[in-house]
Amino acid sequence: MVTLHLLRHAKSSWDGDEPDHQRPLSRRGERAAAAMAVYFRQFGIAPSLILCSDARRTRDTLAAMRTGLPDDATVTLTRALYEVGASEILQTLNQTPETHRSVMVIGHNPGLEDLVLSLVGDPVGAKFATGALATLESDTGWADLGPRAARLVRFVTPKELV
């Protein structure tokens, strides 16, 4: 069995004139990420691999949540998760070594929400808001992960925590 945590980046700021890839988190996003870090610790969310888009808002989200995640988790920053759809995210996951039984992807919508829909066959039942976490489990390995091969076991938004 594998566990997949899909985390949408926390709320970003539109105040500056930075290009999209360089937008930082807003204050609200920083608070939400800190609340999610506490949630991770409380519920034992402990991925051994974290795949993170290389956009600034995803990197900032990871940094703000790092205290809630295992110190020994392998972190991979990649452009392959920026502005991509569900199929590209799934291709990345399909290449994940089977030694990692729990993986977190920190990325963007609509790709993450579409991936949940594909893997589970149903929407999460709520808006996949910024900072939201969907946790899925699958009896397959990463290489065989595909449509309707997972089940949704948790969906939480920062708004529920603050």
Q: pLDDT tens for residues 29-86?
A: 999 999 999 999 999 999 999 999 999 999 999 999 999 999 999 999 999 999 999 9
Q: What is the pLDDT of residue 20?
A: 84
14 pLDDT band, cuts 50/70/90, is confident
Average pLDDT rounded to a whole number, residues 83-101: 97
pLDDT at residue 162 greater than cutoff 80: no
Average pLDDT rounded to a whole number, residues 149-157: 96
Cβ pair 71, 57 in contact under 8 A? no
Q: Is 118 left (phi over 0), alpha (psi -120 to 50) or beta?
A: alpha
Contact residues for 77 (Cβ-Cβ < 8 A; gap 6+): 52, 53, 54, 59
Q: What is the pLDDT of residue 32?
A: 94
Q: Can you give the pTM of this predicted structure?
A: 0.95
pLDDT digits (tens, 9 = 90+) for 97-149: 999 999 999 999 999 999 999 999 987 777 889 999 999 999 999 999 999 99
CA dist 79 and 59 (Å) reads 11
Separation in Å, CA 108 to CA 47, 57, 101: 19, 10, 22
